[in-house]
Amino acid sequence: MKVLFVSAEVAPFSSFGGLAQVSYFLPRALLKRGLDIRIFTPKYGQIDAKRFPTKMEISGLRVPTGEEANSEKPKELVCNVLSFATQKKMEPTVYLLENMEYYEKRANVYGYNDDHIRFGLLSRGALEFVRTSGFEPDLIHLNDWHTGYLANYLREAYKNDPLLGKIALLFTIHNLYQGIFDFAHASEMDADDGKGKLSGFFTDRFYKQNALKRGVIYSDLVNTVSETYAKEIMKEEFGSGLNNLFRELRGKVVGVLNGLDYREFDPVTDKLIKKNYSAGNLGARAENKVALQKEFSLEVNPDKPLMAFWGRLDTQKGIDLIQDVIRFVLEEFDVQLVVVGPAEPGQKDFFLDLEKKYPGRVGTHLMFDPILPRQLAAGADILLHPSRYEPGGIVAIEAMRYGCVPVVRATGGLADSVANYDPAKHTGTGFTFKSFNKESFLVALVRALETYRNRDDWKRLVKRTMEQDFSWNQVAQKYVDLYRRATDFRKEALSLNPPIAFKPQD
**Domain spans of the chain?**
2-259+473-496, 282-466
Q: How many CB atoms lie within 10 A of CB 199?
A: 17
Whole-number average pLDDT of the chain: 95
pLDDT for res 474? 87
Domains 2-259+473-496 and 282-466 share a fold: yes
Write down the H helix ranges in 380-505: 394-401, 412-417, 438-452, 455-466, 472-496
Output the CATH code of domain 2-259+473-496: 3.40.50.2000
Query: 107: which DSSP letter?
Result: S
Residues 6+ apart with CB under 8 A from 217: 151, 152, 194, 195, 245, 249
- pLDDT, tens digit (0-9, with 9 covering 90-100), for 155-213: 999 999 999 999 999 999 999 999 999 998 889 889 999 988 999 999 999 999 999 99
Sheet (strand 36-42) strand order: 55-64, 76-84, 94-98, 36-42, 2-6, 139-143, 168-173, 221-224, 253-255
- Asked if 130 and 166 count as a contact pair (C-beta separation under 8 A), the reply is no
User: Residue range 344-357: average pLDDT?
Assistant: 94
pLDDT for res 65? 97
Residues 6+ apart with CB under 8 A from 83: 54, 55, 57, 93, 94, 95, 96
User: What letter represents residue 291's amino acid?
Assistant: A
Residues 6+ apart with CB under 8 A from 119: 8, 145, 146, 147, 149, 211
The pTM of the full predicted model, rounded to 2 decimals, is 0.93
Output the CATH code of domain 282-466: 3.40.50.2000
Confidence band of 292 (pLDDT split at 50, 70, 90): very high
Tell me the C-alpha distance between 27 and 12, whole Å: 13
pLDDT for res 506? 47
pLDDT for res 46? 87
Q: Hey, is 110 helix, strand or coil?
A: coil
